[in-house]
Amino acid sequence: MIDEHAFFANNIIESDVAILGAGASGTFAAVRLREDYNLKVTVIEKQDRIGGHTHTYNDPATNKPVDYGVLSFWDYGPAKDFFARLRVEITPPPPPTGTSIYVDAENAKNLTGYKDPPFPNVLSSIGIYGNQSEKYNDILLPGYWNFPSRDAIPEGTADIWGVFQKEE
C-alpha cells in the first residue's frame, strides 16, 4: 500500500483506472472506460501527444501534412464503431506503389543486384504459408487479441522463419 502522506497533495492523482500509453489501444480503452463506464481515467504517455506509432510530418516545401506510422486498422466492428464515435472518416488504403526495395536484414543496407524469385515459386510459397496459417485462424483472426501465451502456442508454430522455410 502506498502512503499518500509521503507525497504533496498536488502530486496525487486519484483515478479509477490508470492506462499506460496513449496509442490506439490506450486511447480506445480510455474513451470506453470514461464514456461507457463513467470511470475516472488517467492516461500516462511518455510522448507529448497521443497516437502511439502514428506521426505527422509537415513538409515545409509543400506545406502538406504526411502521415506515417500506423496507417490501417482491422476492418471489424469495434474499430469501425470507435472511429464513427470520434467522427473519424474511414477510407480505403491507397494501392501499393509497386516499388520494392530489398534490404539486407543483417546490416540494413540496400541489396544491389538482387533478383526476385520466379513468380510461380512465390505463389507456391504463399500457398504453403497460407495452408499452415489457416490451421490457426481461431487465434489469428480477426486480430491478435486471442493470441495464446507462449507456453500455449502449438509446438512448431513459433519456429524461427528460416527453420520453417527449410522444413516446408
User: In this predicted model, what pLDDT tens digit does every residue of 61-89 receive, in sequence order?
Assistant: 888 877 777 667 777 778 888 889 989 88
Kindly state whether residue 141 falls inside one of the protein's structural domains: yes
pLDDT (tens digit per residue) in 27-55: 999 999 999 999 999 999 998 888 887 77
Query: What span, in angstroms and rounded, lies between the C-alpha atoms of 72 and 79?
Result: 11
Asked if residue 153 is part of any domain, the answer here is: yes
- Measure the CA–CA gap between 47 and 36, rounded to whole angstroms: 26
- Give the span between the Cα atoms of 160 and 168, in whole angstroms: 13
> What pLDDT score does 71 carry?
62
> Is 140 within the bounds of a domain?
yes
> What is the model's pLDDT at position 164?
66
Does any domain span residue 118? yes
The verdict on residue 23 lying in a domain is no
Q: Per the domain annotation, does 22 fall within a domain?
A: no
Q: CA-CA-CA-CA torsion for 21, 26, 27, 33, nearest 10 degrees?
A: -130
Q: How many separate domains does the chain show?
A: 1
| pLDDT-wise least confident of 10-19, 93-102, 108-117 | 93-102
Least-confidence region, from 11-25, 115-129, 145-159: 145-159
Range of the domain at 138: 99-168
Does some domain include residue 150? yes
Considering just the CA atoms, what is the radius of gyration of the chain in Å? 23
Please tell me the pTM assigned to this model: 0.50
Residue 159 in domain: yes
